[in-house]
A and B are shown apart, each in its own frame.
Chain A
């Protein structure tokens, strides 16, 4: 038996009906693993924001989840337009979402700041017109 587990989810760009599916699955797994409820809450909020970002901006993406007793790592790799200026994107209220997306209740420009607030560690790398990789790390014991 391994002391670590991996999960993988595909995310379809533009399909908001299914946005949140992967986050829900992650939540379910963490509950079953008896992870502290406050950590689950922060993890799911960060994962959900990241998942919605992929749906809103990218063509497609994959979420890789890596869990061991020390940490939960969620890596979202997408194929999409990429982020030209990551620092700008991290500002609250900054959004490139279309009015159509905003009407659906998404794209208020709180995604990245909210992820940063909830994640213990957040790493973003991006290449314009290629895609973006977001890595969320949550520490399960005392914060590293």
Chain B
């Protein structure tokens, strides 16, 4: 919509040439950001939070997640793959982390670093942050970028409750960059590429909400890496002989689990609650907004079911991925990994003091999507119009008008972006009373759904 400027960069792109206008995406969008026009799905930029529900239901792959061209990594001498723990979780237990890493090196990366190392720095900072803000409750995690955007557009009252600290991902990237520079690397020759399980992280990196620049150079989608690793494993590549694997600092068990549901809440003292899946989050936040619940200290909110194990770019089953990560953490705990052993000469702890100084982010602003107008009198007039229009609509929410619900259509009309005769029920009434000819009524539908869908299959 042209009413406001564009607030967000979106990683989800709709391909008009592929879209068949089936409206599956429109019907699952939790923020009602999609409309159908001319037989194609269209995105309202300021409503979309990049959760990717649409991506999952598109039957023809018309929704794509933009990523950097893989060859971009070769523009840099130091090519760092920043991997989240859900990457190894994608593969059956028989595929080792070692194997995955060797495939990444084979592909051209020179360094591999696990994102969750950043949580060690973040966890302490979160404790301090929460203690310093005892009057603001509940504090809400900024782990999931889709949730940060959801709070901005749908629960603007709560932007102050968001924990204004850098994500573990950015901390990890910053650490690795600093480390390489200290080892003599040319800053311009460092390319840090994040292997992402979702679109929201990409959008956050390309236009950070509260933080202006990111240490991350580019993003590679996890499904791309998954296919490379799988092909390699299937072709019998064991990875043991061809590459020397860099010694990696082992993650602590709780660090491995950070990206799963309860990964953060289990680490926070006080009453902490974890909620995953965006519709669950919306339902819960509605209650929080009414202050029906007011003794919660910390909320871990994640847009995907099973958190990052259910990221839209993951290929493995989300329940198996979560299980595998939990098994790994259990094994690590048994082996006494939580008794901190420094196997590698380098650790993110070496830079802890420096990294902690730079954890703040700019203020995350409210971006209410619900307001009908900036001006209250005009908003009131639009609301009256919506009420008036609703009297003529059937409350069926069939979506045939190209808007997800009757109410959404009424609002679109009040905003001057749709007309009431887009409703099939209204069309029938108009045809009956002679206000519309059958031909005109047909044209209305064609305008929404495209001509092709109305062609006679016999001819």
Closest to A29 in B: B383
Check B290 for interface membership: any CB of A closer than 8 A.
yes
Question: In the assembled complex, which residues on chain B have CB atoms less than 8 Å from the CB atom of A4?
Answer: 380
Contact partner of B383 among A33, A40, A41, A69, CB < 8 A?
A33
Question: In the assembled complex, which residues on chain A have CB atoms less than 8 Å from the CB atom of B290?
Answer: 20, 23-24, 27, 44-45, 48
Check B291 for interface membership: any CB of A closer than 8 A.
yes
Question: In the assembled complex, which residues on chain B have CB atoms less than 8 Å from the CB atom of A38?
Answer: 157
Contact partner of B376 among A27, A45, A140, CB < 8 A?
A140
Check B108 for interface membership: any CB of A closer than 8 A.
no
A48 to B291, CA, bound (A): 8
The reply to whether B366 and A5 contact each other, CB–CB distance below 8 Å, is no
Check B273 for interface membership: any CB of A closer than 8 A.
no
Question: In the assembled complex, which residues on chain A have CB atoms less than 8 Å from the CB atom of B377?
Answer: 3, 69
The reply to whether B157 and A67 contact each other, CB–CB distance below 8 Å, is no
A33 to B373, CA, bound (A): 7
Question: In the assembled complex, which residues on chain A have CB atoms less than 8 Å from the CB atom of B380?
Answer: 1-5, 33, 67, 69
Check B13 for interface membership: any CB of A closer than 8 A.
no
The reply to whether B289 and A44 contact each other, CB–CB distance below 8 Å, is yes
The reply to whether A33 and B372 contact each other, CB–CB distance below 8 Å, is yes
Closest to A40 in B: B157
Which residues of B, 336-386, contact A by the 8 Å Cβ criterion? Answer: 366, 368, 370-377, 379-381, 383-384
Q: Knowing A2-B384, A34-B371, say if A41 contacts B376 (CB, 8 Å).
A: no
Check A86 for interface membership: any CB of B closer than 8 A.
no
How near does chain B come to A8, taking the closest CB pair, in angstroms? 13
Closest to A26 in B: B290
Check B208 for interface membership: any CB of A closer than 8 A.
no
Question: In the assembled complex, which residues on chain B have CB atoms less than 8 Å from the CB atom of A28?
Answer: 370
Which residues of A, 2-38, contact B by the 8 Å Cβ criterion? Answer: 2-5, 20, 23-24, 27-29, 31-35, 37-38
Closest to A49 in B: B291
Check B210 for interface membership: any CB of A closer than 8 A.
no
How near does chain A come to B380, taking the closest CB pair, in angstroms? 6
Check B399 for interface membership: any CB of A closer than 8 A.
no
Question: In the assembled complex, which residues on chain B have CB atoms less than 8 Å from the CB atom of A34?
Answer: 368, 371-376, 379
The reply to whether B376 and A69 contact each other, CB–CB distance below 8 Å, is yes
A71 to B372, CA, bound (A): 18
Closest to A118 in B: B291
Contact partner of B381 among A1, A67, A140, CB < 8 A?
A1
Question: In the assembled complex, which residues on chain B have CB atoms less than 8 Å from the CB atom of A44?
Answer: 289-291
Check B286 for interface membership: any CB of A closer than 8 A.
yes
Q: Knowing A5-B383, A140-B376, say if A33 contacts B291 (CB, 8 Å).
A: no
The reply to whether B371 and A32 contact each other, CB–CB distance below 8 Å, is yes
Check B450 for interface membership: any CB of A closer than 8 A.
no
How near does chain A come to B138, taking the closest CB pair, in angstroms? 14
How near does chain A come to B346, taking the closest CB pair, in angstroms? 46
Kindly list the 8 A-B residue pairs having the minimum CB-CB distance in the complex, ordered from nearest. Answer: A34-B371, A31-B370, A1-B381, A33-B379, A37-B157, A48-B290, A45-B291, A32-B372
**20 A-B residue pairs with CB within 8 Å:** A1-B381, A1-B384, A2-B380, A2-B384, A24-B286, A27-B289, A27-B290, A29-B383, A32-B370, A32-B371, A33-B376, A34-B372, A34-B374, A37-B156, A40-B157, A41-B157, A41-B289, A44-B290, A48-B292, A67-B380
